[in-house]
A and B are shown apart, each in its own frame.
Chain A
Amino acid sequence: MSEEPASELESLLARYVERHLLAGEKLDPAALCADRPQLLAPLRALIERYQRLDRALGAELADGEAADGDRSLPCFPGFRTLERLGRGGAGEVFKPRT
C-alpha cells in the first residue's frame, strides 16, 4: 500500500467513524468509496477492525469471556445468577450507544 491511497483510506475511515459515533449511523462502505472501488476491500477491513475495537471497549471489557475465551472475571460464590443477569444485558445495550 503506497502512502497516497493510505491517507485517502484513513479519511474514509474517519468519515465512517465520525458518522457512527456522532449520528449512530453505519455508512455503506461501497457508497463511501464509490469513485474509488479499489479502496473498498481495505476500507471494509478497517471498518471491521474499528468494530472489534468498539466491542473491546464496550461489552468485552465488562465480560472477559468474549475477549479472551477464558474466565477472566472473578466469581463470587453464591452470586452466580446475578452475575449472569448483568452480563446478558451488557452486550446488547452497549451497541446502540454513541
Chain B
Amino acid sequence: MESEADRVLLERARAGSSEALGALLEGSARRLLALIRLRLGPGLRARLESRDILQATLLKALERFGHFEGNQVGPLMSWLARIAENEIRDQADFHGAQRRDAARAVPLETSPGVERVAAQVRSQTSRIALGEQLERLERALEGLEPDQREVVILRRLEELSFPDIAPRLGRSTDACRMLFARAMTKLTLALGEEP
C-alpha cells in the first residue's frame, strides 16, 4: 500500500476521481477484512458477519472521504480502521438485521460516479476470501499476548509508523519496535506449531 501507484491513486481520489477512490478502497479491502476479523475476535465473529462490517466501512469511507486528511496511503488504512472499529461497536451494540440494513442504506450525497462505486462495493465485498494461510495467521495472532497482537495489527495491518504506535500502546517508540520484533519472532514460532 505504500507504492507510488497508490500515492497517485490517492492524489487522484482527493482531486475528486471516484474511479481512483474505488481502486484505492478495492486495494484496501482484503487487508481491512483481515483487520476487522481480528478486531472482532473469536467471540464477536460468531455473532457478527465480518463482511457486513467491511461493506458498511467501505460505504462510509466513500461517503466521508472528503474528511480524510492524510496525504499518504498508510494513514488511509488507519482511517479505514477507525471507521471499521466504530462500525464494529455500533453493530455489537445494536446487533440485529435492522441495524445492518440501516448501515447498507447509508445515504450518499455525492456524484453518480461515487454511487456507481458504492454499488460495486456492495456487490463485491462478499466475494473476498482470505484463504487458508491467512486463517492460520489469524489463529497464531490470537495466540499472542494482547500487546504483541496489537503492535502487529497496528504496524502491519493499519500500517502505522512506530512514533504513531507509541502513544496508542503507552510505550516509547523504541519499546514498540522491540515489542514488534518479539511479536514477529513469536508468530514465526507459533506458525510452526500448526500442522
Please state if A74 and B125 are interface contacts (CB–CB under 8 Å): yes
Please state if A72 and B30 are interface contacts (CB–CB under 8 Å): yes
Task: Give the distance in Å from the alpha carbon of A90 to the alpha carbon of B26 in the complex.
Answer: 14
Please state if A57 and B137 are interface contacts (CB–CB under 8 Å): yes
> If the complex has contacts A68-B131, A68-B133, are A86 and B125 also in contact, measured as CB distance less than 8 A?
no
> If the complex has contacts A74-B128, A79-B19, are A18 and B27 also in contact, measured as CB distance less than 8 A?
no
Please state if A62 and B182 are interface contacts (CB–CB under 8 Å): no
Task: Give the distance in Å from the alpha carbon of A62 to the alpha carbon of B159 in the complex.
Answer: 12
Instruction: Determine which of A57, A60, A76 lies in contact with B26 in the assembled complex, contact meaning CB atoms within 8 Å.
Output: A76
Q: Which residue of A lies closest to B156 (CB)?
A: A57
> If the complex has contacts A86-B3, A89-B4, are A17 and B9 also in contact, measured as CB distance less than 8 A?
no
Residues of A with C-beta under 8 A to B137: 53, 56-57
Please state if B3 and A10 are interface contacts (CB–CB under 8 Å): no
Residues of A with C-beta under 8 A to B181: 14, 17-18, 21-22
> If the complex has contacts A14-B182, A72-B129, A73-B30, are A97 and B2 also in contact, measured as CB distance less than 8 A?
yes
Instruction: Determine which of A13, A70, A79, A89 lies in contact with B188 in the assembled complex, contact meaning CB atoms within 8 Å.
Output: A13
Residues of A with C-beta under 8 A to B24: 86
Q: Which residue of B lies closest to A51 (CB)?
A: B188
B31, CB-defined interface residue at 8 Å: yes
B187, CB-defined interface residue at 8 Å: yes
Task: Give the distance in Å from the alpha carbon of A58 to the alpha carbon of B134 in the complex.
Answer: 12
Q: Which residue of A lies closest to B177 (CB)?
A: A22
- Closest-CB distance, B111 to chain A (whole angstroms): 15
Please state if B29 and A90 are interface contacts (CB–CB under 8 Å): no
- Closest-CB distance, B185 to chain A (whole angstroms): 5
Task: Give the distance in Å from the alpha carbon of A89 to the alpha carbon of B117 in the complex.
Answer: 23
Interface residues on A, range: 35 or more
> If the complex has contacts A21-B184, A68-B131, are A79 and B26 also in contact, measured as CB distance less than 8 A?
yes
- Closest-CB distance, A81 to chain B (whole angstroms): 9
Please state if B6 and A89 are interface contacts (CB–CB under 8 Å): yes
- Closest-CB distance, B192 to chain A (whole angstroms): 6
Please state if B31 and A53 are interface contacts (CB–CB under 8 Å): no
Q: Which residue of A lies closest to B74 (CB)?
A: A97
Task: Give the distance in Å from the alpha carbon of A53 to the alpha carbon of B127 in the complex.
Answer: 24
Please state if B1 and A46 are interface contacts (CB–CB under 8 Å): no
Please state if A17 and B130 are interface contacts (CB–CB under 8 Å): no
> If the complex has contacts A21-B181, A58-B156, A90-B6, are A74 and B26 also in contact, measured as CB distance less than 8 A?
yes
Please state if B133 and A56 are interface contacts (CB–CB under 8 Å): yes
- Closest-CB distance, A77 to chain B (whole angstroms): 7
Instruction: Determine which of B22, B27, B120, B132 lies in contact with A62 in the assembled complex, contact meaning CB atoms within 8 Å.
Output: B27
A–B pairs, 8, beta carbons within 8 Å: A10-B185, A21-B181, A21-B184, A67-B134, A72-B128, A72-B130, A83-B23, A90-B5
